[in-house]
Amino acid sequence: MLAVLYAVCGVLCLVAAAWPMRPDSPAGVLWGLGLVGTAGAVALRLLSGRLAWWGLHAAVALAGSLVAVLAWRSVTAVGVVSLGPVVIALGLFAAYFFPMRAARAHVVLLAVLTTAGAFAAAPAVPALQWLTGVVSVIVLAEVQGRLAQNLRTAAATDPLTGIANRRAWEAEAERNLARAARTGEPLSFAILDLDDFKEVNDRHGHVAGDALLRDLTTGWSARLRRADLLGRYGGDEFVLCLPVTDERGAWEILEQLAATHDFAWTAGVATARSDDTLTAVLGRADEHLYLQKRTGRRS
């Protein structure tokens, strides 16, 4: 999407440079901005999916700087004010794709740069019209950011327990697995299966079962380290990703979790190997889980 913004702005600048609307239009600046915009669009498209987050932040900041330059070199007040939609588009992009704190920083930087460019321009820019545009960017970006944050939270969270759902857990676990393969640090996984959970629902109802799940996950979360990742994998099955933890360390953590509640559960543990996939390491943990069940070793 950022590549599209770069491409549209770059093409419009090239068109304005090739067919200037006024004799005193800054054709040289427009050519330069057009080439930077189109080259940036191509680079962003080619790097799609591989661009580091800092690179994406830098690209958004650069786009704001280019808009500020265009505002500064505009020869009419109308030309400056007409840049408002571009500023709004950049603000909404930052608000949708970045965390709230980073998005707000981008919007403030964007407002400061473009305002400086607008009031450094030769023509007198109507302050009220420009202020209206800046306030619109800030308000729209804040609303968009809050909505995007709520959507991301809802998409990644199990609604009953408040911990990571299966899709979000697997995505983060994959990143941890890749990091462990690069660094050589130990990484362990555990599958936790509640024993006789169906009896709780059958005897006391689903409300009691739901309350038990919330109590268990709340107690577990309080004992886990900040880097540990707890997720709900199925109805009564949970998964743990334990960075910088070998098998012995994983069992020590599980012992701490068992002390938070007297309801019994069984766990299977596997430590990742250098060539492991997430499916493979979870498969070994699952095999270990059922071995524990057969031998009667439970928490």
Q: What is the set of active-site residues?
A: 236
Give the integer Cα–Cα distance in Å for 299 and 111.
56
Give the integer Cα–Cα distance in Å for 174 and 20.
52
Phi, psi (rounded to 5 degrees) for 267:
-125, 150
Cβ pair 69, 110 in contact under 8 A:
no
Give the integer Cα–Cα distance in Å for 121 and 29.
14
CA 78 to chain centre: 37
Give the integer Cα–Cα distance in Å for 296 and 299.
10
Q: How far is CA 284 from CA 123, 264, 267, in A?
A: 70, 22, 12
Give the integer Cα–Cα distance in Å for 201 and 199.
5
Give the integer Cα–Cα distance in Å for 250 and 189.
8
Phi, psi (rounded to 5 degrees) for 241:
-115, 120
